[in-house]
Chains A and B, each alone.
Chain A
Amino acid sequence: MLAHIFRRIVATIPVMAIVALFVFSLLYIAPGDPAAVIAGEQASPEDVEKIRKGLGLDRPFVSRFGEWSWHILQADLGTSMFTGLPVTQLIVQRLEPTLSLMVVTLILSITIAVPMGVIAAWKAGTWVDRGLMAFAVLGFSVPVFVVGYVLAYVFALELDWFPVQGYTPLSAGFWPWLENLVLPAIALGCVYIALIARITRASMLEVLQQDYIRTARSKGMGQSGILFVHALKNAAVPIVTVIGIGVALLIGGAVVTESVFAIPGLGRLTIDAIVRRDYPVIQGIVLLFSLVYVLVNLAVDVIYTLLDPRIRY
C-alpha cells in the first residue's frame, strides 16, 4: 500500500516535468515577439533588446529552460514583468481566497450531489428522480456567471442572507469567512454538482441491481444502510474519479466566479496577467494549477485502493 503510494508519487514527476516544459514553451509559441509586446509601441529597439535579454530570449532554449526549472524547484517563479514583484509572492498573496473557494465548493458539491444521486437512483423512474435530474441538467447548462448574478441578486440583495461580494480571510473567523463563500461556491459548484449527481445515480443504479444488495435486504437491513453503506461504497470508484476530473472545471470556473463576486484571488491575478501578457505570472499560475490537478488525481488513485479491496497494484 505505502509502496504503491510512493510509486504513484514518483510517477507524477515526469508528468510535472512535461507540464513545466509546456508552460515554459508558452513564451516561445505565443504569437508575436513577447519582448516587443511588453515594451509597448513607443519603445526604442534598445528597450526591446533589454527586455529580450531580461526574459532570456537571447539565449538557447535548453539552457534557459534548465535555469528556469532549477529556480522553480527552489520555489522561485521569477519576477512579474508588470509589477516587478516576485511571482511567488504575488501568488501566495492571492492563494487563500482561491483555495478557500475551491475547498468550500468541493465539500459543498459533494455533500449535495452524492445524496442527490443516491436518492435519484433509489427512486429511479419516479417524479423525485426526474425532478432531481432535471435540476442537474439545469445546473449543467446555465453558465457560472448567470447563476452567480442570480444568486447574488436573490440571496444577497433581496433577502440579505449573505454578503453580495468580497472576501473575508479565515483569520477573521470561520463564520465570516464561510458566509462570503457560500454563494460563490454554489455558483461555481453547479456544473460540478450536476456532474457528480449524474454519475452517482448511474453508478448506484447498477449497484442496486446486484445480488449482494438483495442479500443485505434479506438480512433485515434498512433502506439507508443499504443505500449508503452497502451500495454507495461499491458505487464509489466512478464517483471519486469524476470528482477528481471535475477539479479542472473548478479551476476554470474559479476565475469567472471570482470576478462575479469580486474575490481577490488567483482568478483576478490570472486575468490581469493575461491581459498584460505578464508571462512569468501566467507561467507560475498555470504551473500551480497543474500541480493541484495532478495532486488531486494522485489522491483519487490512493482513495481507490481504500474503497475497493480488489484493487491491488
Chain B
Amino acid sequence: MPLLEINDLQTHFRTPDGVNRAVDGVSFQMGEGETLAVVGESGCGKSVTANSILRLIPEPPGKIAGSIRFRGVDLLKLSDKEMRRVRGNDISMIFQEPMTSLNPVLTVGRQLGETLRLHQRVSRREADARAVEMLRLVGIPEAKRRLGEYPHQLSGGMRQRVMIAIALSCRPKLLIADEPTTALDVTIQAQILDLMKDLKAKVGAAIILITHDLGIVAEVAERVMVMYAGRKVEEAPVEKLFRTPRHPYTQGLFGAVPKLGSSLAGNLTKLAEIPGVVPSLKQRICGCVFATRCASATDLCRQSAPALELKAPGHLAACHFAPKEALAA
C-alpha cells in the first residue's frame, strides 16, 4: 500500500467572480520514505495541493474533493477531531515564511513542547527534555537557553530550524515542505537543505518538497511532479525529467532542453521565464491548458485536452506530441 495516494484532487475556491479551480484533478502516489519535488510557476496550485492534504484550506470559500488516502485512510472522510490527530503527528508541514510562521508571543519551548503534548502523553518536563533534544538535532546551539526565547530573538535560519524541529518532533511519516528555503539567504538555504537530507535519513519520513529551485530538486528529490494551472502536466524520476523533459511546459521551465550527458543540474538553477500568461482558472478550458503559451500548439491541442500518458517507464506527461519511448510490454 502506498503511503499517500491522491486521486483526482479538486480544490476549488468560490470567489465573487466565479469558481477558482486552483487544483483541478491532480493524482499522485508516494511510497514510504520517498522524496517528491513539486515544481511549477507561481500560482499553479502547489501550495493549495499541499494545504489540501492537511485540510488547511479555509472552507468556505474553499472546497476539497477527490480522495487523499494516507496509509489507506481517506483523510477527506475523517472528522475534524480525527484530522487533528493526523496533523503534526502523522503528517506535518513546514512553510515558506520562517519569519512569520512562529507565534511571536509564545516561547520556542512552548511551541515545540505543545506539539508533543498534543499528540503524546508526556508531562511538561518530558516535553521540555524532548524539545531540547529536537533543538540539538536541528543544530541549534545552546538548546536549553533557546527554549525560553521568543521567535524575534532568533534569525530567519534559526526560526526555520525551529519549524523543522516542531514538524519532526512527533516523527511524522510524511513531511510537507512548502518552499522551506525560499525566504532564506543562499548559505542558510544550503544548511537547511543539508539538515533536511540528514534528518530524512534519521527520521525516515517521506517528503513532499515544493520549490522553485531546480538545483534543490536535482539534489534532494527522487521524483518530480510538474504542475501547471492546477494540473499535473508531467511526472518522472528526477534523472529522466532532467535528461528528457517531455512536456513543452517543463522544457520551457528548464529554459532549454538540457543536452544529454550534461550534469544533472547543469548551470541552471532557477526556473526560466516562459512568455505569456497562465490562463484564468475561473473558466473551463477545453483544450490543453498550456496551448495558449505553447510554441508548437496545433488545433488538436486547442480542442482536446491531452490525457496524462505514460511516455516512458515511470514517466508521465500530458501532451499530444510528447515523444514516446517504446515501452517494454
Contact = CB atoms under 8 A, between A and B. Distances in A.
The yes or no verdict on A and B being binding partners is yes
Interface of A: 210-212, 214-222, 229-230, 233-234, 307-310
B207 to A, nearest CB: 15
Contact of B87 (A219, A308, A310): A219
Contact of B106 (A210, A217, A220, A230): A230
Contacts of A217: 56, 87
Interface of B: 54, 56, 84-89, 92-93, 95, 97, 100-106, 114-115, 118-119, 150, 152, 163, 166
B84 A221 contact: yes
| Secondary structure call for the A interface | helix
B103 A212 contact: yes
Contact of A211 (B84, B89, B101, B152): B101
B88 A212 contact: no
A44 B328 CA distance: 125
16 contacts: A211-B101, A212-B104, A215-B103, A216-B103, A218-B54, A218-B93, A219-B114, A220-B84, A220-B87, A220-B118, A221-B88, A234-B105, A308-B105, A309-B104, A309-B105, A309-B152
A234 B104 contact: yes
Contact of B105 (A219, A222, A233): A233
A233 B56 contact: no
B89 A218 contact: no
Nearest to A233: B105
Given A219-B87, A219-B88, A220-B85, 17 more contacts: A211-B97, A212-B100, A212-B101, A212-B103, A214-B56, A217-B56, A218-B87, A220-B84, A220-B87, A220-B88, A221-B118, A222-B84, A230-B103, A233-B106, A307-B105, A309-B104, A309-B152
A42 B102 CA distance: 76
A131 to B, nearest CB: 19
A247 to B, nearest CB: 24
Nearest to A234: B105
Contacts of B88: 218-221
A215 B102 contact: yes
Contacts of A220: 84-89, 115, 118-119
Contacts of A308: 104-105
A206 to B, nearest CB: 13
Q: Considering residues A217, A229, A308, which has the most beta carbons from chain B within 10 angstroms of its beta carbon?
A: A217
B163 to A, nearest CB: 8
Contacts of B114: 219, 221
